[in-house]
Structure 1
């Protein structure tokens, strides 16, 4: 059995640093290659880290850096646009609460922790191609080529380069592209709303024209997000060509008829804290996660829309599970075991989020039907045991992986 000793991790976002730290714990030297010329500290809005994500990070001793920046979110309270309370979703009994974090803060925390552990990061390394070394039927390693003309070699290459992964197209040139969910994402912070604290609860609302979520913390700050139906997909760059003032005008218009304090929150929003994320996307199924000594992790393999609340947590789970498999098995057997352990779970969560997106983006006729059915549906779904399968997932690092 040939043990994997070195790894190239392409992508320095969320999955990349976690994968590198997990590989290091497994005794594998990992080096991160990031396309950005510097740290990507200002990209992304708010997200949640679920108990299963914290548990995965705990395996590699990285959970405390997230707890230090995350704000507790123990339940989600759902309202209709009329202000009617439809349901409250709490976490399963005995589990710690989810943590609400801003993606830039999460990025800085994980990046800093990886650096503290001595993991090397090279910036300005945009992958353009990769090839196997050695025999085509029994490759001995991988060589990656970057846009700046440099190359790097290692025993394996791990694609942690996000929903528009280059590694994914290297593995499978016919790999599916991201699917637009019909929603644009926005987020921000508001101060001076004079709204009472919501405690550890996140309030969410199916509005007449859009979806809104907010949490008011004890210090008076209010973190919020909005999902606005839009006919055409829009990249982050395209969304940010429109001024925050214009987006805010459109959001105020979209929520004008809703009987929740959305307008108060939007009007108190700080422009410097406003984030236009662009189109919300997912990929229902990536047929090929691996080829030879190349493999995918995080959004490159299983991109779920933000509606799942599980994107970062699933990335952490997969990164840790992949390192565990590489610790115990030769590369190609390890990749097969990793996919077997992960695929069913992540695709089930992606499908559940897609159903949520369809409710958020409902048109005028579908909205009437949705509003009529939501109260009954929420009563059936708002039970902790219904969500336990997502939150109680744990990785047994000590157990040996077999082929």
Structure 2
């Protein structure tokens, strides 16, 4: 894509009245296809540049989409496609030792939707492509240069692309973040490594599909649920002082990780059963769990950040993907409604920063409870039933999950209220 912004005319010669008419999107995971589709809906041409050589449908384990995230996908016409291949979680329980307590829920919102990350990537890619978004693969960003009329991205294969704005949807290791601010903080490490496995459903014959259990084991936290096909999926959060990226974690043989998990969950029910019966062939190593500290600068000039590149709450929130989706759509609204990139980016940050940082702080607090130790576990067993009985779930999580984006409303009033 190239631009020449000396003219504010569309292809048919008619004035558009919009300073931003084209965008480069760096990153083709979740936020990238969403923002590109929303931009096209807003009348702005967007091309997605992805570092991988092709669409990766096998990366990562499962993730949860909160009601607010699925509602945001409805704005770009992708909500039903996601619902069709997701597992709705109707109920959740928390287990500490022999004590199990049902978690309260919100009235009038749809359930969490569990989906494989690779499946979500495919759905969002297909929706974007159907809408007319172009994807360029094997395009790893190395630099970007701003000019008076646009910004030019430089890729490792020697090619360049130019547009009015550049949007960094390139994840927790964002290159765009460092181009905006060389001193920007990197994603933090929660002290936990993530794994996912599958076992036959008859190991826990009484477990019903659509119920998620959050379990605090003797040494580590884990969670599990039964799929619609009868298999049980379980995820492990293994405490580790050593940070390991996805690539680094996968250098350790799968059998060695399973040995460590079987040792870690040896005293837990059903953790021991889940670890012992996991097949190495279907065992996923996902690497470190990240959490993003507050980023001082979300944008500079013609460049801006969305998704995990700027706000990556830990998986404890159940909101990471949903927040990325929301931000992509809100950024598109701001670029649609405001006269230039500077004012649009400022409004976008006003609308989004307080919300995402508040949710990130909640995730950080939850992370600290995942390794309570023997005394902490005993305290949790006693206090947990009382805590959840007294918890005002509507007050604590209603504002998160009932959040809805009004695509048709102009964004100025919302930005002013947030500012």
Within 5 A, what are the aligned runs for 1:4-403?
Answer: 4-80=20-96, 82-90=97-105, 92-134=106-148, 140-195=149-204, 196-258=206-268, 260-329=269-338, 330-363=340-373, 367=377, 370=380, 373-381=383-391, 383-402=393-412
Instruction: Look up the SS of the partner of 2:150 in the other structure.
Output: strand
Would you say the 8 A contact 1:88–1:382 is kept in 2? no
Aligned equivalents of 1:296, 1:8: Cα separation in 2: 12
Cα deviation for residue 394 of structure 1 reads 0.5
Aligned equivalents of 1:377, 1:63: Cα separation in 2: 34
Aligned equivalents of 1:328, 1:359: Cα separation in 2: 43
- Tell me the equivalent position of 1:137: none
Q: Deviations over 1:240-281 (max 9, x none)?
A: 1112211111111111112x2222222332323211111111
Would you say the 8 A contact 1:187–1:275 is kept in 2? yes
Q: 1:209 to 1:319 in 2, by over 3 A?
A: same
Aligned equivalents of 2:390, 2:181: Cα separation in 1: 41
Q: What's the RMSD between the two structures over aligned residues? A: 1.7
Cα deviation for residue 83 of structure 1 reads 2.2
Q: Deviations over 1:71-129 (max 9, x none)?
A: 0012220010x220134132x11111110111111111111222222211111111011
Would you say the 8 A contact 1:359–1:370 is kept in 2? no
Cα deviation for residue 385 of structure 1 reads 4.3
Aligned equivalents of 2:36, 2:221: Cα separation in 1: 36
Would you say the 8 A contact 1:76–1:204 is kept in 2? yes
Instruction: Look up the SS of the partner of 2:162 in the other structure.
Output: strand
Would you say the 8 A contact 1:89–1:384 is kept in 2? no
Aligned equivalents of 1:94, 1:178: Cα separation in 2: 35
Aligned equivalents of 1:76, 1:252: Cα separation in 2: 25
Gaps of 5+ in 2: 1-16
Cα deviation for residue 230 of structure 1 reads 0.7
Aligned equivalents of 1:103, 1:274: Cα separation in 2: 15
Aligned equivalents of 1:271, 1:104: Cα separation in 2: 19
Aligned equivalents of 1:334, 1:84: Cα separation in 2: 50
Would you say the 8 A contact 1:328–1:401 is kept in 2? yes
- Tell me the equivalent position of 2:14: none
Aligned equivalents of 2:147, 2:376: Cα separation in 1: 54
Would you say the 8 A contact 2:26–2:167 is kept in 1? yes
Q: Deviations over 1:294-321 (max 9, x none)?
A: 1000001101111111111000000000
TM value normalised by structure 2: 0.90
Instruction: Look up the SS of the partner of 1:220 in the other structure.
Output: coil
Instruction: Out of 240-249 and 18-27, give the one that drifted further.
Output: 240-249
Q: 1:231 to 1:376 in 2, by over 3 A?
A: farther
Would you say the 8 A contact 2:87–2:228 is kept in 1? no
Instruction: Look up the SS of the partner of 1:79 in the other structure.
Output: strand
Instruction: Look up the SS of the partner of 2:310 in the other structure.
Output: helix
Aligned equivalents of 2:174, 2:402: Cα separation in 1: 29
TM value normalised by structure 1: 0.94
Instruction: Look up the SS of the partner of 1:279 in the other structure.
Output: strand
Instruction: Look up the SS of the partner of 1:153 in the other structure.
Output: strand
Aligned equivalents of 1:367, 1:83: Cα separation in 2: 11
Aligned equivalents of 2:248, 2:372: Cα separation in 1: 24
Aligned residues: 395
Q: 1:255 to 1:89 in 2, by over 3 A?
A: farther
